[in-house]
Amino acid sequence: MREYAFFLGCIAPNRYPGAESASYKTAEKLGIKLLDLEGASCCPAPGAFGSISLEIWYAMAARNLCLAEQMKKDIALICNGCYKSIWEVNHKLKHHKELKEKVNEVLKTIDMEFKGTIDVWHLAELFYDPEIVGVQKIRDSVKVSLEGTRIAVHYGCHLMKPRKERHFGTTEHPTWLEEMVGALGAEPVEYRNKMLCCGAGGGVRGYDLVHSLDITNEKMINLKEARVDALTEVCPFCQLQFDRGQIEIEEKFGVKYNLPVLHYCELLGLAQGMSPQELALDLHGISCEPFLQKVL
Amino acid sequence: MPRTKGYPEALDKKLADTRLYEDERHPEFTKTVEKLSMSIPHMCYQCGTCTASCPSAPRSSYRIRKFVRRALLGLEEEALTDPDLWLCTTCYSCTDRCPRDIAPTDVIMAMRNLAFKRDIIPVNFLKTVQAIYTTGHGVPNNDVNRAARKKLGMNPEPPTTHAFPQYVKGIQKIIDYYELKKNADRIVKEREG
Ligand code: SF4
Ligand code: SF4
């Protein structure tokens, strides 16, 4: 069993606890044990915090990294926003001596030091990596096949972009998450402008909600056109924007989509036999019922 | 879709005049942006690939190409006072596609940092800071969620600063080191009373 410090972030534990719960359980079935990272905080939000001061954003993210360094464990996480903060700050501090020294000056005031001894991973990339889990093992873990459902994937932005800094290959037309959806028995469905942002990031959701929802609405139009039963993603912030966002879209623009939105870990949980109750799917803004009826 | 944020009148007038005035240029602004962004906006040849990739462009007057131009020409005032500065979702599409290897997204982030130094910042950004200062979380727990966690057999408080509030002190120390909370409180109070 491989062990990782599980960096929770904010939205999964505080808005979609089913996604958190599913992560522990699905990972464990695939040979990954997620350990509590006690005292971790907001990553902090790369858009809001980074816009104010990159320097403070580095220091705050570094504190979270230090907690995992103390545990001597790599970090695994389930949110693209967290990935942006935690992965990127780890990467930057490891490669820029001057930056690291500056951050460590601040951390000294709380008796911490960033050493650069661990790595950071998105749980989805660990699942996909054949040396760790791999698509075949995911397929083998399925108890309730999602056969007969059409599922679209939203990759989000901060996991794979900027491409040159990351290690995921193409950001124009990736298909690795579709493979992981296919492994659950569902039919992965392509749709127009798949890589378009959810619209929430960069502080825009808070700054100009209508603008932000208008981007989300464009995605919703494209998803509707593809006649999918559900949308899956690997970022609770995107999830919030698509799920609760659909309610706001109805309020602001008068259009209704009723498209269930599930984190990949929730979807995997269902396929591995977890019940909708165990996934707290009733907390979702948009009912997952129509999708569940096709599956269960 | 109607614009929800308008231009200040002075800037509106300014933008109607597209000529470049030497006295509005601050070469040190270009340098500061380059240092903060770790990118190279002075290499921009204004091809517009970034704007063409931008999800915010079709639904607003926000043009990322224009901001990169401002960075390379040192047009500090125009860059920092433009409310469109806050419409970038940081999706990094422009960065992935720029043929000159510039990171327009990081240029925007650098400009936002510089704007903040002049108190130019939308309050929602500051409220996130205030929430993190108090609880450690930008999006803190609530009662509905606690009940749901309980039902799932989980601790109602996640094992973060929520279950271990003793860690909040360290976070506050970091934020106070930069006097960020003090400034956030001051600006929010000025705006909202
Ligand atoms: S894509 Fe790059 S080179 Fe082209 S206008 Fe934008 S920043 Fe300049
Ligand atoms: S990162 Fe910002 S400027 Fe670049 S394409 Fe995305 S929203 Fe537009």
The ipTM (two decimal places) reads 0.96
**pLDDT for A162-199, tens place per residue?**
999 999 999 999 999 999 999 999 999 999 999 999 99
The pLDDT value given to residue B13: 78
The pLDDT value given to residue B1: 44
> Residue B6: which pLDDT band, with cuts at 50, 70 and 90?
low
pLDDT higher than threshold 50 for residue A126: yes
Whole-structure pTM value: 0.96
The pLDDT value given to residue A57: 97
Chain A residues touching residue B121 (CB < 8 angstroms)? 51-52
CA distance linking residue B86 with residue B101, whole number of Å: 23
Query: What's the whole-number mean pLDDT along residues A69-82?
Result: 98
pLDDT higher than threshold 90 for residue A21: yes
Chain B residues touching residue A39 (CB < 8 angstroms)? 160-161, 164, 166-167
pLDDT higher than threshold 70 for residue A133: yes
Atom 5 in ligand 2: which residue has the minimum CA distance? B54
Atom 8 in ligand 1: which residue has the minimum CA distance? B44
> Residue B59: which pLDDT band, with cuts at 50, 70 and 90?
very high
pLDDT higher than threshold 50 for residue A76: yes
B39 lines ligand 1 (CB under 6 A): no
DSSP code at position A85: I
Pocket probe mutation, ligand 2, options B65, B67, B92, max atoms within 8 Å of Cβ: B92
Ligand 1 atom nearest residue B45's Cα: 3
CA distance B52 to chain A (A): 12
Contact A116, A236 (CB under 8 A): no
Ligand 1 atom nearest residue B41's Cα: 7
Q: Cβ of B170 and A210 within 8 Å?
A: no
**Number of Cβ within a 10 Å radius of residue A72:** 10
Q: Where are the beta strands (DSSP E) in A106-259?
A: 120-122, 150-154, 187-189, 230-233
Structure tokens at A156: 């989000």
Chain A residues touching residue B179 (CB < 8 angstroms)? none
Helix (H) or strand (E) holding B169: helix B168-177
DSSP code at position B7: P
Nearest to A244 by CA among A16, A41, A8, A82: A16
Query: What's the whole-number mean pLDDT along residues B111-117?
Result: 98
- Residue B51: C-alpha distances to residues A22, A107, A160, A292, B99 (Å): 39, 39, 20, 40, 13
Which of B140, B169, B178 lies nearest to residue A56, judging by beta carbons? B178
pLDDT higher than threshold 60 for residue B3: no
Q: Cβ of B128 and A278 within 8 Å?
A: no
Contact B74, B111 (CB under 8 A): no
The pLDDT value given to residue B2: 43
Nearest to A1 by CA among A113, A132, A150: A132
Q: How many residues does chain B have?
A: 193
pLDDT higher than threshold 80 for residue B4: no
Chain B residue with the nearest C-alpha to that of A17: B149
CA distance linking residue B64 with residue B52, whole number of Å: 9
Helix (H) or strand (E) holding A99: helix A97-108
In percent, the amount of chain A with pLDDT more than 70 equals 100
Q: Cβ of B93 and A195 within 8 Å?
A: yes
Query: What's the whole-number mean pLDDT along residues A132-141?
Result: 98
Amino acid residing at B148: A
Q: Put residue A2 in one of left, alpha, beta given phi > 0 → left and psi -120 to 50 → alpha.
A: beta
The pLDDT value given to residue A217: 98
Atom 6 in ligand 2: which residue has the minimum CA distance? B91
Ligand nearest to the CA of B98: 1
The pLDDT value given to residue A99: 96
CA distance linking residue B79 with residue B92, whole number of Å: 19
The pLDDT value given to residue B9: 78
pLDDT higher than threshold 50 for residue A86: yes
SS3 B2: coil
